[in-house]
Amino acid sequence: MAKAEKNIEVVKKYYFRKKGVVETQGYDWIGEAWFELYPVELDGKLGFADSNGEIVIPIIYDRQCHANDTVLTGNREYLDLKKNNLYGLIKHDGSLVIDFCWIDMELSKLSEDLVPVAIDKKWGFVNKKWGFVNVKTGETQIKPIYDKVGFFKDGFAPVCYKDKWGIIDVKGNMIVKPKYLLDSYFEGDFAIVFKGGSWEYGRNCRLISDSNCKIVNKKGYEIVSDCSWIERTGINIFTLTREEDGKEVKTVKQLIAFPDYIVVIDDGEYLKGYKYVGGGTWSVIDYSGKTIKIPDYKLQEVKKSLLTN
């Protein structure tokens, strides 16, 4: 009877090479370096070495983190790692920033010193709730109560609660109540939101809504409604369009924003759908949407500017 063949499992080991000499310490895996930090794995744990092969971040962290996004996000200062199945944040020198007590974290959305973190809420199923921790203090600045969150921009971030989006400030104050279809950001004093209708992403990732596009300001006032699409066509200029016969789109209104008021042009004449060339009914509203009056010469200055630009 033939002798049974012995199965030999070949285990690969990875090494650093220092000045032409192979380092004797072997690892189960060595990843590509970002910002001179090499992710290394040993016995199912993750750590980081410098360009000399010296361990900077101890090999004590869970391997099953964000598909190595600790380096792929390209953050020069922080690493989001997982320990005992919970996420925390450390600096590239290994010092602790945020305790390992979060079920999830999105380092890629870190902005204005605030990083999204999540806890687990269980009502018969797993349901993450998101908030924000300040990376400078390590403290929870906005409680994890939201279903989804965006990143902060100019002091504001979109948040989703019960499948509707709103906007909060850095203190967690609700500036725009969650009642819109999609996440929106303020550009200057306004955000474009979508309250109803249907929407889809086209080839160019343009959002299309059948109805109820609106503009809101930082006090939560809805400035306009009842159009099919709103887009910015200038620094402080919004062009509103309406779909006709399911195909053609007609420009029906333009808004020109100023610090204290908004000039509204209804049913003007436009070139290429957005370039104002004349006509229409002109009016002025304040930031609450109330019609007000301003000197006629100011309106003429606005008209002259639109026609010459």
Instruction: Report the chain's mean pLDDT, rounded to a whole number.
Output: 84
Separation CA 234–CA 95 (nearest Å): 46
What DSSP state is assigned to residue 153? B
Q: Is 164 helix (H, G, I), strand (E, B) or coil?
A: strand
What DSSP state is assigned to residue 27? B
Q: ∠ CA 151-122-126 to the nearest 5 degrees?
A: 65
Handedness of CA 144, 147, 152, 158 (dihedral sign): negative
> What CA–CA distances, in Å, run from 112 to 6, 133, 148, 149, 269?
59, 11, 18, 14, 42
Give the alpha-carbon dihedral of 168, 173, 175, 179, to 10 degrees: 70
Domain ranges of the chain: 187-309
DSSP class per residue in 220-256? --EEE-S-SEEEE-SSSEEEEEEEETTTEEEEEEEEE
pLDDT recorded at residue 129: 95
Separation CA 199–CA 243 (nearest Å): 13
Nearest to 175 by CA among 191, 194, 162: 191
- Residue 199, both tokens: 């929407």
Separation CA 9–CA 4 (nearest Å): 16
pLDDT recorded at residue 299: 94
Q: Specify the range with the lowest mean pLDDT, choosing from 73-77, 156-160, 173-177, 235-239.
A: 73-77
The structure tokens 């789109």 sit at 249
The structure tokens 């002798």 sit at 3
pTM of the model: 0.83
The separation between the first and the last C-alpha atoms of the chain, rounded to the nearest angstrom, is 94
CA atoms within 13 A on the CB side of 5: 3
Q: ∠ CA 115-128-74 to the nearest 5 degrees?
A: 35
> What CA–CA distances, in Å, run from 171 to 80, 117, 208, 216, 294?
23, 16, 32, 20, 35
Q: In this predicted model, which residue has the larger pLDDT, 288 or 212? A: 288
Separation CA 123–CA 117 (nearest Å): 19
pLDDT recorded at residue 3: 52
Q: Give tens-digit pLDDT for 117-169.
A: 999 866 544 589 999 999 999 999 999 999 999 999 999 999 999 999 999 99
Q: Specify the range with the lowest mean pLDDT, choosing from 51-55, 209-213, 271-275.
A: 209-213
Q: Give tens-digit pLDDT for 106-118.
A: 999 999 999 999 9
pLDDT above 50: residue 31:
yes
Nearest to 135 by CA among 118, 116, 153: 116
Separation CA 164–CA 24 (nearest Å): 56
Sequence-ordered alpha helix ranges (H) in 25-174: 69-72
pLDDT recorded at residue 231: 84
Q: Give tens-digit pLDDT for 50-73.
A: 888 889 999 999 987 544 455 555
